[in-house]
Amino acid sequence: MKTLDRYVTGTFLNIFILIVISLIGLYLIVDFFERIRMLLSNDATLRQILLYFLYQIPMILSLMIPIAVLLSSLLTFGILSKNSEIIAMKANGVSLYRTSCPIIIFAGLMCLVSFFLNEFVTPYTNQRTKYIKLVEVQKKEQIGVFKQNQIWYRGRDGIYNFNMFDSMAGTLKGIRITYLDRTMNPTKRIDAARAVWLNDTWVFYEG
C-alpha cells in the first residue's frame, strides 16, 4: 500500500503544483497589465513594483488552493482511469476510497495551510500591498481604509483593524492591532473581541 500511496500522491502533487503555479502566474499577469500604468505614471521603482506583486502571492495562493485541489483530484483520477489503473487496483482488492485516501489527507492539510495564510499571513501582506500602493507609490497619507464593515487605520505605531466602531457608545468590536517597527515589520499583535473608552483610554475585553 505504501507504493500505491506514493504513486497516487506523486501523481496528484505534480498536477497540483503545476496548477497552482499556473493559476498564480495567470492572476499576476492579468493584475500586472491592470496596474502597470498606475505604477509607472507614479514613477514607481522596480523594487516597489516587485514588492507590490510579491506581497499579493499569499492572498492569491489562499484563493487558488481550493480550486487547485479540486482540479488536481479530477485530473488525477482521470489519468488513473485512462490508464486502466483504477480497474487494476479494484481487481487487486483496493477500493476507490483506499485509493483516494492520500488525496483526502492532502486536501485536509491544504485546508490548514489556507487557514494559516488567511489568519496570520495575508492580513499583513495585504496591508503591505496597500501601503506600497497608497503611500510609497501614490504618495498619499494613509489615514484609514473602510471596506465591507472593516475599518483599517494606519497610526504612528502600527495598523489598527476594527469590525465596528460606535462613536456614540464609545465602543469597538472585532479588534486587531498590529504594531510595526520603522522597517514596517510586525513586532506585536493584540486581538480583542471588544473595547470600551473609559477615562480617556481604551479598555480591551476578551483578548
Q: Which residues pair with 177 in a beta bridge?
A: 160, 190
Question: Each residue of 24-54: pLDDT tens digit?
Answer: 999 999 999 999 999 999 999 999 999 999 9
The per-residue pLDDT for 128 is 85
The per-residue pLDDT for 1 is 60
- Quickly state the pLDDT bin for 146 (edges 50, 70, 90): very low
| Range ranked top by mean pLDDT from 87-96, 101-110, 124-133, 155-164 | 101-110
Distant-in-sequence, close-in-space partners of 146: CB < 8 Å, separation ≥ 6 = 152
The pLDDT of 129-145, averaged and rounded, is 74
Question: pLDDT at residue 203 above 90?
Answer: no
Distant-in-sequence, close-in-space partners of 94: CB < 8 Å, separation ≥ 6 = 1, 4
Q: How far, CA to CA in Å, does 123 sit from each of 79, 88, 114, 190?
A: 38, 47, 13, 13
Question: pLDDT at residue 172 above 60?
Answer: yes
| Cell, residue 23 | 493559476
Helices assigned H by DSSP within 42-95: 46-54, 57-82, 85-91
**What is the average pLDDT score of the chain?**
85
Question: pLDDT at residue 21 above 80?
Answer: yes
| Cell, residue 8 | 497516487
